Amino acid sequence: MNNKIKTSLVIFSSIFLIAFSVFFIFKEKDQEALVKVENFDLYQEMLDPEEKNLNADCANEEFNQLRKLTELGQMKKLVLVGGLEIRITPNYYNWNNEKFLSFNDPESGAFCGEGGFFPLYADRENLWWIQSCSSGYRPNEDDINYQDFINCQESEKIVLDYFAKK
């Protein structure tokens, strides 16, 4: 075999191995995040009433009533890579997923500001809430918070994709 062919094979093999490794690392990261989301033992009970705040008062009274009840009751949190936070609360009103997610619609008036927790998923027992990674602000690559921002966005995508398939 001549040197050009050998060099081409080495380059092709190297590119393939790098691509496979990157794919495997992302899949492993996806799996790790999902294992955490599904493991209720990893969620921490929240006891401080001020920490349990989900969002400010909003125009939708039905949602406000749930939010106030939720903030007074049991709440657990899980913080994923990049600082993405998921919270679980009891499903006091037995809302199905469609009803709970309807409050994500800006026209419902349920959300008033940035930085709050948004409906993610409802099952028979729990409501799952997620806090967005940003309010549209994206740090520059040289910013000290840039890598956390990227990690948070990756975690957010994994979690949103997971719950969209449930």
pLDDT (tens digit per residue) in 73-110: 999 999 988 888 999 999 999 999 999 888 876 666 56
- The sheet with strand 117-122 has its strands ordered as 44-45, 76-79, 85-90, 126-131, 117-122
pTM of the predicted model, to two decimals? Answer: 0.74
Q: Look at residue 3 and tell me whether its pLDDT is greater than 70.
A: no
**Residue type at 145?**
N
pLDDT (tens digit per residue) in 11-50: 444 343 333 333 333 444 545 555 577 788 889 999 998 8
DSSP readout, 96-125?
-HHHHHGGGSGGGT---STT-EEEEEE-SS
Split at pLDDT 50, 70, 90, the class of 57 is low
* Cβ(166)–Cβ(121) below 8 Å: yes
